[in-house]
């Protein structure tokens, strides 16, 4: 059972990491695209009452994409290291991402484009991690049930447990009859 459980959790951790990476790539692309729009940056719109010349905010974009990349790498490392406790790790990371996204959302009301985009990426990462927590729980139940069925099939009929006068075996019907 331990081998099947470890395989399932290893696969789920890779799926969680792939989802987090896809999320970060989507939001980084959106950040690059939205950074090219001068309307999203109030500070660049006017200087001393006159329209300012627009320059692409390369420093802001690079900083926020770097922050998203570091977050994904840290989460990926935690998901690979703590494969045994994958559900707990996913849930903890989801709570942390959700809390950080709400803090950034409150700060992003009059902020330039990177703030709300980063908050959105964290919010979607939190949602993905909650889904992975649920998937981990379901996979553990499936692995446990398969293991129990294999153990029951491997047990010879003479050694099987008899409860309430009925033989518990897949060949029996619901009432214990053969």
Please tell me the pTM assigned to this model: 0.73
Question: b/e map of 81-92 (b: 16 or more CB within 10 Å)?
Answer: ebbeebbebbbe
pLDDT at 128: 95
178 residues of the chain, pLDDT tens digit each: 567 667 667 788 889 999 999 999 999 999 998 887 776 665 555 555 556 676 778 888 899 999 999 999 999 999 988 877 888 999 999 999 999 999 988 888 877 788 889 999 999 999 999 999 999 888 888 877 777 677 667 666 555 555 555 555 555 555 555 5
pLDDT at 167: 52
pLDDT at 17: 92
**How many C-beta neighbours within 10 Å does residue 177 have?**
8
Distance CA 40, CA 115 (A): 11
**DSSP run (H or E) holding 57:** none
pLDDT at 109: 80
Q: Which long-range contacts (CB under 8 A, 24 or more apart) does 145-150 make?
A: 146/4, 147/1, 147/4
Alpha carbon 8 to chain centroid distance?
Answer: 16
Domains of the chain by residue range: 2-167
Cα–Cα separations (whole angstroms), residue 34 to 27, 119, 150, 173 = 10, 15, 55, 63
Residues facing 50 on adjacent strands: 47
């Amino acid at each position: 059972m331990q081998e099947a459980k470890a395989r399932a959790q290893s696969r789920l951790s890779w799926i969680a990491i792939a989802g987090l990476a896809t999320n970060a790539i989507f939001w980084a692309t959106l950040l690059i695209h939205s950074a090219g729009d001068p309307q999203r940056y109030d500070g660049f719109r006017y200087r001393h009452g006159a329209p300012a010349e627009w320059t692409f905010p390369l420093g802001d974009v690079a900083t926020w994409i770097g922050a998203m990349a570091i977050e994904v790498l840290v989460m990926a490392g935690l998901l690979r290291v703590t494969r045994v406790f994958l559900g707990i790790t996913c849930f903890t990371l989801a709570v942390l991402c959700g809390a950080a996204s709400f803090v950034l959302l409150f700060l992003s009301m009059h902020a330039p484009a990177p703030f709300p985009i980063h908050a959105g990426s964290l919010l979607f990462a939190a949602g993905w991690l909650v889904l992975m927590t649920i998937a981990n729980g379901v996979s553990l139940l499936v692995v446990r049930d398969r293991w129990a069925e294999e153990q029951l099939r491997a047990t010879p009929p003479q050694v099987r447990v008899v409860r309430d006068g009925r033989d518990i075996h897949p060949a029996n019907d619901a009432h214990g009859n053969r």
